[in-house]
Amino acid sequence: MKKIWAIVWKDIIIELRTKELFSSMFVFALLIILIFSFTFGFSVEFIPVAAPGILWVAFTFAGVLGLSRSFAIEKEWNSILGLLISPIDRSYIFLGKMIGNMIFVFIVEAIILQIFVLFFNYNLFVNLPSLLLVILLGTVGFVSVGTLFSAMAVNTKLREVLLPVLLFPIIVPVIVSSVKLIGVILSGKPIAKAGSSLQILILFDIIFLVICTVIFEYVIEE
Amino acid sequence: MMKTLAGLTFIGMMASLYMAFIYAPTEAVMGHIQRIFYFHMGAVWVATIAFTVVFIASIQYLRRESRFWDILALSSAEIGVLFTTLTIITGSIWAKPVWGTWWTWDPQLTTTFILWILYIAYLMLRSAVSSDVKKAKFAAVFGIIAFIDLPLVYLSVRLMRGISPVVFGGRGGGIAPQMMFTLVVCLITFTLLYVVLLRERMSVEKMKEELARLKLEETT
Amino acid sequence: MESTEFDIIAEGVTKSFGNIQALYGIDLGVRKGEFLTVFGPNGAGKTTLIKLLATLAKPTSGRLIVANHDIKKEPNRVRGLIGVISHEPYLYGNLSALENIRFFASLYGVSQAEEKAVDLIKRVGLESRMHDLVRTFSRGMQQRLAVARAIIHEPKILLLDEPYTGLDQHGGRIFGDLLRWLKSQNRTIIMTTHSLTEGLGISDKVAILDNGKIIYESDADGVEIARFKEIYFEIIKA
């Protein structure tokens, strides 16, 4: 739908102008990898086991930063009301916001992957297509719920601080499955070794994409 | 009605205590510590009912927008977090002598822990929203998502190896009938307890709202 | 009331937020092309009334019919037919004036959006700032751009919620000119304000809202400002 794309495009232009989202997400991700490299850096045996976990910590923590900003810009001048008085389905507003968030998070994830390879001197790209697929599925999971929750969090006294509190317990299935899957991919074993992780991940994505899209209107209306 | 329920609950509690500690036979492998399991199961049972009630009340609130459903959800959540805490504590007390550790990351325990966190996040969300209407709406949304999420959490966490407790082996394997009976009595008692606490909490909340409304009328 | 003659009809509209009631049984009718100004002190419910008309909130009870469409049943239809100017501009500070109008035009599915956007921006006197970020605009300029945003889809009906808020003398005068221009195009307009001077000269009808109820309504012809002020203060005191 053109209207959804209009919203995505708007968010991209705003971000290109201010670069707020990006710089904070990037710096934060860098710091996380840095800290982990101090802890694990010199013991090469740990990396294959720890890599999926480190990656997902970096993805989600940096991602949450970006998610918070997404609705903060709508709240700043109450511009969201401009969206609400126009004849656009509330679910389209959600999808527009979510797609915008996914784009930003993907870019940061790509950068994180590169930084990881650099700092840990470890080749992540043994099976690139599978790796990217899992990261894609995992990101869809946490960005969909994250977009919904950030619309709520921005309206609270705690603002951005509340978002991780709400989000992390909910995305446990995403993190557990993705970590397991990436672990299996990096060690070159066939995906079947990860048990039903892939199915669980896909199930989560489908269920919550639908639910969040539908339930968004209750969050956004007066 | 409340008095009858409260009375029945009291009787039920007395009966449960007697049955758990005296009537039920001692478990073959674990010994007396196993007796706490009857209360542990009661707590788990209530934590689960409470969570389901939050879910249903949340859906109904979004559909009807009547205060009743929001008050029900809030009250059930508060009771739920209490009983989840009890679940974890009783579980730990049992675990130490039997598994040799206070805690382990097996699927049931981990899922219970996440449930606990979800309850707390729910209550934190409520306290972070100043507007009454928004508070109810947001909480309802979170309540629905959390409930749907929990089974997925359990499924995903099961991918990790687990030590499932075998808790009711009587002599010759399987649950001894006296144990079953004790368990049932316990579950019924705890259910009654939940209902009693729920009604109490809801009437306190209704009174609070009535008070706030009267104060508002006074000033205008 | 004949719905073909009236663009806006409110029948027994009430609105409660939880335990607080903001509007009690509002009955209102605005004919096509009419300009109604609703006066009222702060907290009277003016913003709530506009919110309901703008489909930002649903009435707790009662019927609200805009351009022959029931707001509860066809909110999206109604949205396409109304323009809203509030005391906040509903614009994006980090987009330029043109980008803002183009964006809203796409939300309304406006054809030839680019030309219309440029035209409107010129019409509201912001041609020289077309590509500047709205963040850099003064309050008066933002409000003018908000007018452009509100009418890009050529709505017959306009809702204004205390639009003069934050405008200085100069800004107020320019906005008043724009308002007269909008009225001359035969649009149906409801404006709320707590300032008596702004609404009287331009309105066809006036009403007073206090404590969620409409307590006075009349045609504006021949109502002098002084006389109306008397009426207003008496009513508010009661």
Distance separating alpha carbons of residues C171 and C35, to the nearest angstrom: 21
Does the CB of A221 have a partner CB in chain C at under 8 Å? yes
Taking the CA of residue C228 and the nearest CA in chain A, the distance in Å comes to 33
Task: Answer with the residue of higher pLDDT: A156 or B122.
Answer: B122
Residues in chain A closer than 8 A to C133 (CB atoms): 17
Map tokens 């994830």 to a residue. A109
Residues in Cβ contact with A202 at an 8 Å cutoff, skipping those fewer than 6 apart: A137
The pLDDT score that the predictor gives to residue C163 is 92
Q: Characterize C188-209 residue by residue with b for buried, 16 or more Cβ atoms within 10 angstroms of its Cβ, and e for exposed.
A: bbbbbbbebebbbebbbbbbbb
Could B118 and A170 be called an inter-chain contact, meaning their C-beta atoms sit closer than 8 Å?
yes
Instruction: Quote the tokens at residue A202.
Output: 């896909």
A38 or A43, greater pLDDT: A38
Give the amino acid at A68. S
**What's the pLDDT score for residue B98?**
76
Which amino acid is residue B196, in one-letter code?
A: V
> Which of A169, A195, A207 is the closest to B118 by Cβ?
A169
Burial degree of A100 (CB within 10 A; 0-12, 13-18, 19+)? buried
> Distance between CA A220 and CA C194 in Å, rounded?
29
CB contact under 8 A, A176 and B157: yes
Q: A72-76, A85-89, A218-222, B28-32 — which is least confidently predicted?
A: B28-32
What average pLDDT does range A32-37 have in this prediction?
A: 84
Predicted pLDDT at C107: 93
* CB pair distance less than 8 Å for A79 and C51: no
**CA–CA gap between residue A167 and residue A150 (Å, rounded):** 9
Would you call A173 and B156 a contact, using CB atoms and an 8 Å cutoff?
yes
Q: Please give the model's pTM, rounded to 2 decimal places.
A: 0.90
Rg (CA), chain C: 18
pLDDT in tens, A78-119: 889 999 999 999 999 999 999 999 999 999 999 999 888 888
Tokens of C64: 């609200």
Rounded to 10°, the helix B36-64/B107-128 angle is: 40
Q: How many CA atoms lie within 13 A of A117 on its CB side?
A: 10
Q: Which residues of C touch B212 (CB under 8 A)?
A: 19
Select from A83, A82, A77 the least CA-distant residue to A96: A83
C121 pLDDT band, cuts 50/70/90, is very high
Distance CA B25, CA C231 (A): 86
What's the Cα-to-Cα distance from A28 to each of A34, A112, A164, A190, rounded to whole Å? 10, 10, 15, 33
Q: What is the mean pLDDT of residues A162-182?
A: 93
C93 and A76 within 8 Å at the Cβ level: the answer is yes
| Residue A3 touches partner C, C-beta closer than 8 Å | yes
Please report the residues numbered 33 through 52 in chain C whose beta carbons come closer than 8 angstroms to any beta carbon of chain A.
51
- Which pLDDT value is given to residue B181? 83
Cα nearest neighbour of C50 on chain A: A85
Question: Is residue A190 scored above 80 in pLDDT?
Answer: no
Q: State which amino acid sits at residue A10.
A: K
Distances (CA, A) of C115 to A157, C5, C119, C122: 43, 33, 6, 11
Backbone angle region of A19, left / alpha / beta, with phi > 0 → left and psi within -120 to 50 → alpha: left
What is the pLDDT at residue B164? Answer: 53
Which tokens sit at A213?
Answer: 């899209």
Q: Which residues of B touch C72 (CB under 8 A)?
A: none
- Interface contact A202, partner B, CB < 8 A: no
Name the pairing type of β-strands C82-85 and C157-161. parallel
Instruction: State whether residue C82 is helix, strand or coil.
Output: strand
**Residue, of B39 and C18, whose pLDDT is higher:** B39
**What integer pLDDT is reported at residue B172 of this predicted model?**
41
d(CA B35, CA A51): 43
Interface of C with B (CB under 8 A): 17-20, 211
Q: How far apart are the first and last CA of chain A?
A: 25
Percent of chain C topping pLDDT 90 = 45
Task: Tell me if chain C has a CB within 8 Å of the CB of B133.
Answer: yes
Nearest to A149 by CA among A217, A211, A216: A216
- The pLDDT of residue B166: 47
Sign of the four-CA dihedral B135, B141, B147, B151: negative
Cα angle C29, C33, C35 (rounded to 5 degrees) comes to: 65
ipTM of the complex: 0.91
Query: Do C92 and A73 make contact, defined as CB atoms within 8 angstroms?
Result: yes
How would residue B70 be classed by pLDDT, with cut points 50, 70 and 90?
very high
Residue B160's pLDDT is 64
Query: What confidence tier does B170 reach under pLDDT thresholds 50, 70, 90?
Result: very low
The position carrying tokens 């907290």 is C43
Does C6 have pLDDT greater than 80?
yes
Tell me whether strands C205-210 and C188-193 are parallel, antiparallel or unpaired: unpaired
Q: Give the mean model confidence (pLDDT) for residues C164-179.
A: 88
Quote the crossing angle between the two packed helices A128-153 and A172-186, to the nearest 10°: 160
pLDDT digits (tens, 9 = 90+) for B125-164: 999 998 888 999 999 999 999 999 999 999 888 876 544 5
**Distance of residue B213 Cα from the nearest chain C Cα, in angstroms:** 7
Q: Nearest-CA distance from B156 to chain A in Å?
A: 5
DSSP-derived secondary structure for B140-194:
HHHHHHHHHHHHHHHHHHTTS--------B-TTSSB-HHHHHHHHHHHHHHHHHH
- Condensed to tens digits (0 to 9), the pLDDT of residues B109-122 reads 889 999 999 999 99
Residues of B in contact with A156 (CB under 8 A): 125, 128-130, 138
Pairing of strands C188-193, C35-39: parallel
Q: Give the three-state DSSP class for C219.
A: strand
A218 touching B (Cβ < 8 Å): yes
- Of A93, A137, A101, A78, which is closest to residue A22 (Cα–Cα)? A101
Contact across the interface for A177 and B156, Cβ inside 8 Å: yes
Residue A132 pLDDT exceeds 50: yes
Query: What is the residue-averaged pLDDT of chain A?
Result: 88
Element (H, E) at A27: helix A20-40
Q: Which residue has the higher pLDDT, B179 or C171?
A: C171
CA distance C64 to C55: 10
Average pLDDT over residues C89-94: 91
Nearest to A87 among C80, C91, C93 (CB): C80
Whether A77 sits inside 8 A of C107 (CB atoms) is no
Give yes or no for a contact between C145 and C121, defined as CB atoms under 8 angstroms apart.
Answer: yes
Question: What does R_g of chain A's alpha carbons equal in angstroms?
Answer: 18
Q: Which residues of C touch A76 (CB under 8 A)?
A: 93
Cβ neighbours of residue A56 under 8 Å, at least 6 residues apart?
Answer: A138, A175, A178, A179, A182
B123 touches chain A (CB under 8 A): no
Confidence of residue A189 (pLDDT cuts 50, 70, 90): confident
**B63 touches A: beta carbon within 8 Å:** no
A10, A89, A222: residue with CB nearest C95: A10
Look up residue C72 and give its DSSP letter: T
Residue in chain B nearest C17 by alpha carbon? B133
- Is C20 in Cβ contact with B216 (below 8 Å)? yes
pLDDT of residue C82: 94
Nearest to C130 by CA among C119, A187, A197: C119
- 8 Å CB contact of A176 and B160: yes
Residue A81 · residue A56 · CB < 8 Å: no
A203 in contact with chain B, both atoms CB, cutoff 8 A: yes
Residue B165: which pLDDT band, with cuts at 50, 70 and 90? low
SS3 C163: coil
* Range 117-146 of C in CB contact (< 8 A) with A: 133
Judge contact between A178 and A138, C-beta under 8 A. yes
Check if B152 contacts A (Cβ < 8 Å).
Answer: yes
* pLDDT tier at A43, thresholds 50, 70, 90: low
Report which of residues A185 and B57 the model is more confident about.
B57
What residue of C is the nearest CA neighbor of B133? Answer: C18
